[in-house]
């Protein structure tokens, strides 16, 4: 019996410790800026992402604001992090690489399917004209909307809806970024891709090595290209 | 005069049967629970570590032996209650312990969660096993009866645990098992109180029954009143789907094969292998999940070929290339055929069955692996949630069977055999499946399929296109090897029978029983062009010019590698791939195992250290399991036993160390040997018995019961101890070799027998082997006892348990790398080692001391 109580105490202690994350103070902001700089240099630029716009955006966006409080100290680690509801915030390099592959510029209209934490949308918003981002999990959509609002990004439009159908009112899009792996590419997304547009999408099975696929629409015909092995959270909803 | 044994002695065997039953049932249930909440390989890891509790119980007894044996009756009653409490506590503790152990790949700090999880599950086994060894050690004169009761209960528990899963959800079972064990504790406590009251002139307070009732109350509190309920990993598809708006779980059914759930949601749409050219509507479907992983969608029965996305998938190609029906809109090859017969293996929720009917099949035989699936559909219809199912179509014959077993049993011929992506290769292709055996995707399995094909028949298999490419290459090589093994015209040039097309994420391979005609090759070209699929292989060589028109691969060598493979299986050796691409056979039936030492460095360079784990984490976890077991075993069993003062204060110097070394070798060898042989038998007998779950339960139960009989028999044979072990080893090797040599023949010859008859034959075949295997432990302990080293009996129990637990990952690693015959041989070597030790032992005893009369000894079934 005593053993059980000790065991329960051991379990409860780390749980309570997790929920007591201290607020971030200004000196810590400087430390985060330093970590961000190191992240871009070591994890992103060194692996071949060389688009200046993308690198600048990755340096600018405070990734630690998009992760749960108990993950803040790992925010700039070279790994994905859980954000709740079975979803993750992608590895920094993957975010940068997808942005580079989408070939965003200041005139791009971008659709993101799977807002998640809102981090990827924020990075793209630093580069593109407008980012339309959709999330189907209400809790995630609400949290991301609040985070984005608190950071005062005014070129991000959020919507809580099934990304499968895309955003017909705002189509066509120069780029579509799908941040979770679908089993098939939804036909509405293909339809909403502008001629010459690029869709970046992860492919593969949950918890398996996946690879990025670039889907391009040229002359009305859809073609794809395997880019590189990565890992993602599976596409919510579509099986 | 009353010659009956005292009441306590009459009750004890009953309590032992009960305790052993609940312990084994608990092991089965916990494995199921963790598979449901997380994934099988973490479940396997955690349960393996928890089973160290068996060995650690021997350590505890060894350390304070006089104390435990002095209070053995009270201790046994207390362990019953504590085991019950520990079982009931599993549910709330699982809810409190963080279950996302797999995140340890990225966050080593989460290791403490994994440790707590193991500890949670360690306690019931530790407490229960301690109760057993206390009884065995305290009453050696009744060991035959107690050990028999222990084995009988264990055998019943292995079967009972599975049967309970048909009735209850696995999460509801730990409190029930805890309650059962707690009731045994109450019974034991009440019996002690009654006995004490009878023998005492004074009034005796019912302290023991009171304690028992308090234990039961605690069990009830932990099992049913505790507010904590374990939840499935949020990363599983079922968990994520339940977060979607308007999601409805239509049905949930538990079975030993897993928890089946059928879910309806407006967000669920399935179209694996769909052409990117398809611009139609994909409607929401209900989806079947097994243990939280998607099995496949329920087909929309009002779909037609004109509108259905299924008509535009890569695996619809057999129906486009060689139509067997008289439908006028099809490019008919053989208009004179009267019917098209389709076989769908691993049919799951029936999507591919519906596709076959839509494409004009006149009859479809659907082999469904999980019997609960068909029952679930009937229940949905009865509850008026759905109106009908594809399996009720008069053209469909639904059969519940393991596909390989069906192929042995059925003599029919089919025009198309489909292994669907939803129920077969694609789902099973997950990295976690690497150490799963797949008896269908072996040379013998595919050859069995090819024998069922009509002269113009086609086999169609779909698999993921991965990067770096490996699954498609292995599949292609397997089909080539299987065609060659048939010694038909395919042996001349197997590539003439093959074709492969690829979409952006899957590839479909079709194998024709006869070589393709020029017209058929044209139709393959036409189908690929219409749907935007790439021609990855065609025997006309055109893939060189046309390949990779639509979907550019990261690895451009895939097409040329397929062409090399198509020229014959011997050409496989020239492929530069670092992965394990040798076609699986029945001896190494691991289709999804790819990692080699060379590929590890390739994956590491491509994906980083974590990438290796993610590429095939089942295999990596297996090694981690082995490493943790070694660490845990050394810390909990070997080190405490080795350093215990008992061993250093008794007997003469020098003899002590030799005796300990010999007993380490002997009990380790028989513990490991028993497990290795058992694992091989389960794998082989799946082919005879069909269902893997049923085969596992039958083999374990039969081995335990007959090993118990063998243990009792060993006392009668103790008069010739120097011959017993070598003769037993010789018998084991002969019987194992006989079983191995004949099993494939019998699997085929007995296929037509009813399941019950096959089970009886299997039990009859296992009985002599198990009888012999059961003799080793008691014989070894008898020798310890005779040598005056009975203090080493708990040591023997601990070593035996440790070796048995460690043998499981060792057997799997050996099977993956060397094959199951090597595992059988390793088991035989273990027994040979035991025989060699027994000779040495016997020789030492003959020279050192006279042989005291043999006494009954405690035994263990833990090496099962």
Of the partner residues A183, A208, A215, the one whose CB lies closest to the CB of residue B272: A183
- Phi and psi at residue B494, in whole multiples of 5°? -60, -30
ipTM above 0.85, yes or no: no
Catalytic residue among A16, A79, A90, A150: A90
Alpha-carbon distance of B816 to B585, in angstroms, equals 11
**Residue that is written with structure tokens 């009813």 in the block:** B754
Mutate to test the interface with A, among B223, B505, B605, B608 (most CBs of A within 10 A): B505
Asked if A48 has any chain B CB less than 8 Å from its own CB, the reply is no
List the one residue out of B445, B444, B403 whose CA is nearest residue B424. B403
- Work out whether strand A221-230 and strand B248-255 pair parallel, antiparallel, or are unpaired: unpaired
Q: Is A108 a catalytic residue?
A: no
List the one residue out of B358, B224, B242 whose CA is nearest residue B304. B358
**3 state DSSP class of B133:** helix
Higher pLDDT, B807 or A211: B807
Asked if A204 has any chain B CB less than 8 Å from its own CB, the reply is yes
For B166, residues 6+ apart whose C-beta sits below 8 A from its C-beta are B254, B255, B256
Contact A224 B276 (CB under 8 A): yes
Contacts of B505 in chain A (CB under 8 A): 183-184, 203-204, 213
The whole-number pLDDT of residue B494 equals: 82
| SS3 per-residue string spanning A143-157 | HHHHHHHHCCCCCEE
Contacts of B234 in chain A (CB under 8 A): 84-86
Q: Is the pLDDT of residue A48 over 80?
A: yes
Q: Which of 96-155 (A) contact B at CB < 8 A? A: 136-139
CATH number, domain with residue A131? 3.40.50.150
Contact A213 B505 (CB under 8 A): yes
Number of domains chain A is built from: 1
* Domain B236-421 coded CATH 2.40.128: no
The whole-number pLDDT of residue B722 equals: 62
Q: B191 with B57: CB under 8 angstroms? A: no
Q: Which of 56-95 (A) contact B at CB < 8 A? A: 74, 77, 79-82, 84-87
Q: A100 with A90: CB under 8 angstroms? A: no
- Phi and psi at residue B740, in whole multiples of 5°? -60, -45
Average pLDDT, chain A: 82
Q: Per-block average pLDDT, block size 10, for chain B (864 residues)? A: 57 92 91 84 74 84 83 91 94 80 66 80 92 84 75 86 90 94 93 82 73 88 82 86 89 90 89 87 89 86 78 92 55 54 91 91 92 90 88 93 86 92 44 71 92 92 83 92 70 82 91 90 92 90 66 82 82 71 90 78 63 64 83 82 56 60 86 89 80 79 86 69 72 79 71 77 86 83 76 80 87 90 91 84 61 37 42
Residue B560 CB burial class (10 angstroms; 0-12, 13-18, ≥19): middle
Instruction: Give the closest-approach CA distance of B240 to chain A in angstroms.
Output: 6
Let me know if residue A16 belongs to a domain. no
Contact A136 B294 (CB under 8 A): no
List the one residue out of B136, B176, B126 whose CA is nearest residue B22. B176
Let me know if residue A8 belongs to a domain. no
Contact B237 A234 (CB under 8 A): yes
Contact A206 B237 (CB under 8 A): yes
Let me know if residue A21 belongs to a domain. no
Alpha-carbon distance of B530 to B689, in angstroms, equals 45
The whole-number pLDDT of residue B402 equals: 85
Contacts of B554 in chain A (CB under 8 A): 211, 226-229
Q: B134 with B75: CB under 8 angstroms? A: yes
Q: B94 with B833: CB under 8 angstroms? A: no
Alpha-carbon distance of B330 to B322, in angstroms, equals 9
Let me know if residue A216 belongs to a domain. yes
Strand order across the B498-502 sheet: B396-400, B363-368, B341-345, B414-419, B453-464, B506-512, B498-502, B534-537
For every residue of B268-321, DSSP letters joined together read ----TTB-TT--S-----EEEEETTEEEEEPP-TT--TTT-GGGGBGGGHHHHH
Range of the domain at A195: 27-230
Question: Which of the residue ranges A9-13, A26-30, A155-159, B237-241 would you say has the lowest mean pLDDT?
Answer: A9-13
> Domains of chain B: which residue ranges?
1-233, 236-421, 436-592, 666-864
Asked if A7 has any chain B CB less than 8 Å from its own CB, the reply is yes
The whole-number pLDDT of residue B505 equals: 83
Mutate to test the interface with B, among A143, A187, A188, A189 (most CBs of B within 10 A): A187
Asked if A211 has any chain B CB less than 8 Å from its own CB, the reply is yes
Q: B484 with B569: CB under 8 angstroms? A: yes
For A94, residues 6+ apart whose C-beta sits below 8 A from its C-beta are A80, A212, A230, A232
Contact B504 A137 (CB under 8 A): no
The whole-number pLDDT of residue B509 equals: 95
Residue A233 DSSP label: P
């Amino acid at each position: 019996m005593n053993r059980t109580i000790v065991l329960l105490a051991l379990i409860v202690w780390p749980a309570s410790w997790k929920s007591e994350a201290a607020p971030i103070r200004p000196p810590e902001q400087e430390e985060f800026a330093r970590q961000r700089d190191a992240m871009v240099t070591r994890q992103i630029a060194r692996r071949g992402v060389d688009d200046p716009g993308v690198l600048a955006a990755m340096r600018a966006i405070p990734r630690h604001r998009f992760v749960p409080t108990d993950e803040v100290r790992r925010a700039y680690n070279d790994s994905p992090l859980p954000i709740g509801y079975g979803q993750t915030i992608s590895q920094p390099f993957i975010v940068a690489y997808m942005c580079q592959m989408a070939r965003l510029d200041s005139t791009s209209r971008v659709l993101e399917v799977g807002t998640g934490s809102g981090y990827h949308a924020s990075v793209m918003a630093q580069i593109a004209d407008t980012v339309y981002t959709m999330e189907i999990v209400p809790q995630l959509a609400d949290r991301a909307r609040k985070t984005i609002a608190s950071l005062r990004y005014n070129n991000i439009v959020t919507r809580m809806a099934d990304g499968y159908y895309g955003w017909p009112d705002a189509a066509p899009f120069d780029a579509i970024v799908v941040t979770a792996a679908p089993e098939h590419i939804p036909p509405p997304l293909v339809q909403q891709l502008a001629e010459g547009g690029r869709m970046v999408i992860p492919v593969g099975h949950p918890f398996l090595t996946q690879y990025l696929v670039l889907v391009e629409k040229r002359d009305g015909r859809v073609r794809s290209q395997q880019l590189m092995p990565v890992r993602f959270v599976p596409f919510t909803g579509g099986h | 005069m009353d010659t009956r044994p005292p009441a306590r002695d009459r009750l004890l065997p009953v309590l032992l049967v009960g305790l052993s039953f609940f312990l084994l049932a608990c092991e089965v249930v916990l494995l199921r629970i963790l598979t449901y909440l997380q994934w099988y390989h973490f479940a396997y890891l955690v349960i393996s570590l928890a089973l160290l509790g068996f060995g650690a119980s021997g350590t505890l007894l060894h350390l304070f032996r006089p104390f435990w044996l002095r209070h053995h009756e009270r201790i046994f009653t207390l362990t019953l209650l504590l085991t019950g409490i520990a079982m009931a506590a599993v549910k709330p503790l699982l809810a409190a312990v963080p279950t996302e152990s797999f995140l340890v790949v990225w966050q080593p700090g989460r290791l403490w969660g994994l440790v707590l999880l193991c500890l949670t599950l360690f306690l019931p086994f530790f407490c229960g096993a301690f109760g057993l060894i206390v009884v065995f050690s305290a009453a050696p004169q009744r060991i035959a009866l107690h050990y028999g009761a222990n084995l009988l209960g264990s055998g019943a528990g292995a079967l009972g645990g599975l049967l309970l899963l048909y009735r209850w959800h696995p999460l509801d079972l730990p409190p029930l098992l805890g309650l059962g064990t707690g009731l045994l504790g109450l019974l034991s406590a009440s019996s002690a109180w009654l006995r004490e009251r009878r023998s005492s002139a004074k009034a005796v307070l019912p302290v023991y029954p009171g304690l028992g009732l308090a234990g039961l109350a605690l069990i009830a509190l932990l099992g049913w009143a505790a507010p904590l309920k374990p939840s499935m990993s949020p990363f599983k598809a079922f968990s994520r789907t339940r977060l979607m708006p308007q999601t409805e779980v239509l049905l949930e059914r538990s079975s030993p094969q897993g928890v089946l759930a059928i879910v309806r949601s407006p967000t669920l749409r399935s179209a694996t292998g769909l052409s990117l050219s398809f611009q139609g509507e994909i409607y929401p479907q209900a989806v079947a999940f097994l243990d939280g992983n998607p099995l496949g969608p329920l087909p929309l029965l009002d779909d037609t070929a004109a509108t259905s996305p299924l008509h535009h998938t890569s695996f619809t190609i057999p129906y486009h290339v060689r139509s067997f029906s008289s439908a006028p809109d099809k490019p008919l090859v053989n208009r004179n055929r009267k019917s098209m017969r389709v076989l769908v293996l691993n049919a799951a929720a029936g999507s591919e069955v519906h596709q076959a009917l839509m494409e004009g099949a006149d009859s479809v035989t659907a082999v469904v692996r999980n019997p609960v699936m068909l029952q679930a559909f009937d229940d949905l219809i009865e509850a008026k949630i759905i109106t009908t199912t594809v399996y009720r179509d008069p053209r469909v014959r639904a059969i519940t069977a393991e596909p390989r077993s069906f192929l042995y049993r059925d003599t029919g011929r089919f025009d198309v055999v489909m292994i669907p992506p939803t129920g077969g290769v694609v789902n099973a292709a997950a990295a976690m499946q690497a150490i799963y055996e797949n008896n269908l995707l072996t040379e013998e399995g595919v050859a069995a399929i090819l024998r069922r094909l009509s002269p113009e028949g086609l086999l169609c298999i779909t698999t993921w296109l991965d990067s770096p490419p490996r699954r498609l290459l292995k599949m292609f090589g397997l089909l080539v090897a299987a065609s060659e093994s048939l010694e038909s015209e395919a042996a001349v040039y197997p590539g003439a029978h093959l074709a492969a097309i690829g979409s952006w994420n899957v590839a479909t391979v079709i194998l024709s029983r006869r070589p393709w005609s020029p017209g058929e090759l044209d139709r393959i070209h036409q189908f690929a062009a219409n749907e935007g699929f790439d021609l990855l292989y065609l025997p006309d060589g055109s893939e060189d010019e046309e390949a990779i028109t639509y979907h550019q691969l990261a690895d451009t060598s895939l097409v040329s590698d397929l062409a090399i493979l198509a020229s014959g299986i011997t050409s496989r050796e020239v492929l530069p791939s670092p992965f394990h691409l040798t076609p699986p056979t029945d001896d190494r039936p691991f289709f999804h195992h790819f990692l080699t030492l060379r590929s590890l460095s390739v994956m590491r360079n491509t994906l980083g250290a974590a990438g290796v784990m993610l590429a095939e984490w089942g295999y990596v976890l297996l090694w981690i399991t082995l490493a943790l077991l070694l660490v845990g075993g050394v810390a909990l069993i070997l080190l405490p036993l080795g350093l215990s003062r008992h061993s250093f204060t008794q007997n003469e110097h020098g003899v002590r160390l030799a005796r300990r070394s010999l007993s380490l070798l002997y009990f380790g060898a028989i513990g490991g040997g028993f497990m290795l042989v058992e694992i091989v038998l389960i794998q082989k007998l799946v082919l005879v018995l069909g269902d893997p779950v049923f085969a596992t339960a039958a083999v374990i139960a039969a081995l335990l019961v007959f090993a118990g009989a063998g243990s009792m028999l060993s006392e009668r044979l103790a008069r010739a101890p120097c011959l017993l072990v070598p003769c037993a080893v010789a018998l084991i090797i002969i019987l194992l070799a006989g079983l191995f040599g004949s099993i494939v023949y019998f699997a085929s010859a007995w296929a037509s027998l009813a399941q019950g008859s096959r089970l009886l034959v299997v039990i009859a075949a296992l009985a002599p082997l198990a009888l012999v295997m059961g003799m080793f432990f008691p014989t070894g302990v008898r020798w310890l006892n005779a040598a005056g080293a009975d203090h080493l009996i708990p040591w023997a129990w601990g070593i035996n348990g440790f070796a048995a637990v460690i043998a499981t990952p060792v057997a799997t690693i050996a099977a993956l790398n060397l094959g199951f015959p090597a595992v059988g041989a390793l088991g035989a070597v273990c027994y040979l080692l035991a025989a060699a030790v027994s000779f040495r032992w016997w020789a030492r005893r003959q020279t050192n001391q006279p042989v005291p009369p043999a006494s009954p000894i405690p035994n263990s079934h833990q090496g099962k």
